[in-house]
Structure 1
Amino acid sequence: MTHIQFTLNFDDLKEKILESSLDDILKSTMVLILNEYMKQEQSDYLNAQSYERSAERRDYRNGYYEREFLMNIGNVPLRVPRTRSGEFHTTAFEKYERSDQSFLLALVEMVVNGVSTRKVTNVVQQLCGESVSKSFVSSLTDKLDPVVEEWADRSLGDIYYPYVFVDAMYIKVREHERVVSKAVYIATAIGEDGKRHVLGFNVDHEENYEAWKDFLSRLTKRGLQAPKMVISDAHEGLRKAIQRVFVGTSWQRCTVHFKRNVLDAMPKKGMQEAKSDFKRIYDAASQSEARNLKDAFIKKYEDNPKLEKAIKTLENGFEDTIQYLAEPHIRHKFIRSTNSLERLNQEVRRRERVIRIFPNNQSAFRLIGSILMDYDVAEQKKKVLYK
């Protein structure tokens, strides 16, 4: 059986991925694969590669004609090769039409959720049949990886990011025939342009001080200037790393996490008034107002033994949770918590659940990087958060 093997121009695909939405990425990938498949199919028909002299040649190339091909993702423009005799006919359209739905779903998995050579094999085989060489299948993922890596290593020195958000989530990865838990570090930011940005990410063994320090240091090496404020949860290793890497930067403890900690320290019943008084503290418009409300809360409930733990928790973490109040009021709701980053984590988690267990670190890097790239592109198309 003839083995069809061909290469793709991944510079074109890279440009589309860096500048376009997921739909554009899918269309670009489809165009590249179908065009290259048809070119190689023509070469096999002619018994000669381009510019090759061959006694066994059966015909000659005669340029291309443009054809719009309707797919579920929309019309895609293709360049169909011709021969002088006009006897060559590509089978690409017939192969695609036989497996329209399943191929499109598989293609989405390859571009965004591409996890293993086995899964990519299924994608290409549905287009090209069993005759596709394994080396070509491997080359697809091998050449898509640098696209994500280049984006992940891009310079951050073009604009200033005053507010940086950092958080970690956990995934399962197969390593040395064992399934282990890995931490995924993600950093986002609001730039001086008033838009959200994804700064970077990394997959590491566990969430600790050294790993966080290494992650944040990589961001600075890529050009990230010390921000005015870093917003995160109260992980001790992360907090220490922020202080070490970003000297002079304020740390804003996520108010959502902190309020949950204080409320969890209160009894479940009979505390409605106390809970309302506590929540009112974070309706303040300034640090001085928040401190006055906090002091009034403590004075009102300090003799209640049931609230001793909650008051202690409040006193210990309060100042770190009101740093955002020193910034302009219009920015408060955007920088007082890590909610925006946690929503992004949930989107990653939604895609990750389909995979369940990554076969290796690189597959996790490819999937998560693709999702973050798409999110970053989408955010740049939105209106500014504030002016």
Structure 2
Amino acid sequence: MTAPHIVDPAGLLGEALAEASPDLMRSLLQSIINALLSADADAVVGAEWGRPSTSRSSQRNGYRHRDLDTRVGTIDVAIPKLRKGTYFPEWLLERRKRSESALITVVADCYLAGVSTRRMDKLVKTLGIDGLSKSQVSRMAADLDSIVEDFRHRPLDAAGPFTFVTADALTMKVREGGRVINAVVLLATGVNNDGHREVLGMRVATAETGAAWNEFFADLVARGLTGVRLVTSDAHAGLREAIAANLPGTSWQRCRTHYAFNLMGVTPKAMWP
């Protein structure tokens, strides 16, 4: 398992999603941004879209589309237009780098533990958007939840075979029952038939055990993981047993980075070089 004091688990997770699953990231980013724009425009006019209100100061009048370049590709941004006055999302288009960084973080969080109203509300306030109602935030969370679930359970046979697979476990802090505890995130990436890395699966477990790894790999195989010739991971005994049980005939290789960390853990720092 990768030690939490050596790497930033949340940053590593976001990087894996951005690099190995750009289609997921583009879809989630576009959904998040357009939902935030719509809700922010509602706050400007003083009423939610399609609902009568005495506090309404203007009405929506379609959209103007603009391409937004991000690290995971270009996405289509639908900026709401108003019949009276103007609306322009300065929080997105003028401070793009900071906004995109916050959005990338929340997408990784959404993928890991599902979307909650509290997470979405925290993101909105981070971007400097005020005045969104709980119902607006709840609708955004529900829309993102369906996208995440579709990706988590998508079949893998169309993009296979996956010749090379890497597997690892990250220790991350999650909130459960009103308290923060350590949980283990099982993660697998593979090289698809186009030669690109792709996130195959991710699952949260209470501990890194052989049973957890076996269930994780059994799900990957059931979703269509085939053609694996080499799996690279650390030397966790339960992980190696799960690989042998679910991917018979597949070669296994110990990760050199994990091996170096193991050596550093049992030698004085002066000997690390």
TM-score per shorter chain, which class?
0.5 to 0.7
> Unaligned regions of 5+ residues in structure 2, if any?
1-20
SS class of match (1:173):
strand
Query: CA–CA distance in 1 between the matches of 2:122 and 2:42?
Result: 21
Shift of 1:229: 2.0
SS in 1 for 2:218: helix
Alignment of 1:185 with 2:181, yes or no, is: no
Give the direction of change, closer, same or farther, for the CA distance of 1:197–1:30 in structure 2 (3 Å limit). Answer: closer
Q: Note if contact 1:163-1:230 (Cα within 8 Å) is conserved in structure 2.
A: yes
> 1:81 deviation in Å?
4.1
Residue 144 of structure 1 corresponds to 144
Change (3 A) 1:72 1:230: closer
The answer to which of 70-79 and 152-161 deviates more is 70-79
Residue pair 2:28, 2:144 contacting (<8 A) in 1 also: no
Residues 192 and 267 (structure 1 numbering): CA distance in 2 closer, same or farther, change over 3 Å? same
- Give the match for residue 157 of structure 1: 157
Q: Which residue of structure 2 aligns with residue 135 of structure 1?
A: 135
Check 1:123–1:30 CA distance in 2 against 1; reply closer, same or farther (3 A cut). same
Give the corresponding residue for 1:89: 85
Partner deviation per Cα, 1:327-360 (whole Å, 9 max, x = no partner): xxxxxxxxxxxxxxxxxxxxxxxxxxxxxxxxxx
Q: Write out per-residue CA displacement over residues 216-263 of structure 1, whole angstroms, 9 at most, x where no aligned residue.
A: 000001111151222222111111111111122222233454577689
The 1:67–1:175 alpha-carbon spacing in structure 2 relative to 1, beyond 3 Å, is: closer
Q: Alpha-carbon deviation of 1:113? A: 4.7
- What is the percent sequence identity of the aligned residues? 33
Q: Which moved more, 1:238-247 or 1:214-223?
A: 238-247
Contact 2:24 2:151 in 1 (8 A): no
Please say if residues 164 and 229 of structure 2, whose CA atoms lie closer than 8 Å, have aligned partners that are also in contact. yes
**Paired residues for 1:291-310 under 5 Å:** none
Residues of 2 paired with 1:49 and 1:207: CA distance? 49
Do the aligned partners of residues 176 and 252 (structure 1) sit closer, same or farther apart at CA in structure 2, a change above 3 Å counting? same
Within the candidate set 12, 18, 23, 1:19 is matched to 23
| Cα shift readout 1:253-303 (whole Å, capped 9, x = no counterpart) | 33454577689889999x9xxxxxxxxxxxxxxxxxxxxxxxxxxxxxxxx
* Matched residue, 1:117: 117
Q: Equivalents in 2 of 1:62, 1:179: separation in Å?
A: 42
Opposite residue 89 of structure 1, the aligned amino acid is G
Instruction: Decide whether the 8 Å contact of 2:25 with 2:107 is kept in 1.
Output: no
1:155 CA drift (Å): 1.1
Q: Any stretches of 5+ residues in structure 1 without a counterpart? A: 1-16, 83-87, 272-387
Aligned residue identity for 2:184: A
- CA shift in 2, pair 1:145/1:247, >3 Å: same
Q: Do residues 30 (structure 1) and 33 (structure 2) align? A: yes
Distance change in 2, residues 1:61/1:119 (3 Å): closer
**Is 2:214–2:246's contact at 8 Å kept on the other side of the alignment?**
yes
Question: What's the RMSD between the two structures over aligned residues?
Answer: 4.8
Q: CA separation of 1:253/1:151 partners in 2, compared to 1, >3 Å: closer, same or farther? A: same
Flag the 1:248–1:204 CA change in 2: closer, same or farther, 3 A.
Answer: same
Secondary structure of the equivalent of 1:234?
A: coil
Counterparts in 2 of 1:242 and 1:174: CA distance versus 1, 3 Å: same
Q: Is the 8 A contact 1:43 1:49 kept in 2?
A: no
Structure 1 Cα separation of the partners of residues 61 and 36 of structure 2: 18
Supply the distance in 2 between the matched residues of 1:235 and 1:38 (Cα, whole angstroms).
51
Map of 2:199 onto structure 1: 198
Which structure has the bigger radius of gyration? 1
SS at match of 2:245: helix
Check whether the contact 2:29–2:104 (CA below 8 A) recurs between aligned residues: yes
Question: Are 2:63 and 2:78, in contact at CA under 8 Å, matched by a contact in 1?
Answer: no
> Residues of 2 paired with 1:264 and 1:43: CA distance?
58
CA distance in 2, matches of 1:36, 1:177: 29
Alignment map for 1:152-301 (pairs within 5 Å): 152-158=152-158, 159-258=160-259
Q: How many corresponding residue pairs?
A: 237
CA distance in 2: counterparts of 1:38 and 1:267, whole angstroms: 58
- Partners of 2:66 and 2:195 lie apart in 1 by 39
Instruction: Tell me how far apart the structure 2 counterparts of residues 106 and 267 of structure 1 sit (CA, whole Å).
Output: 38
Partners of 2:133 and 2:172 in 1: CA distance = 32
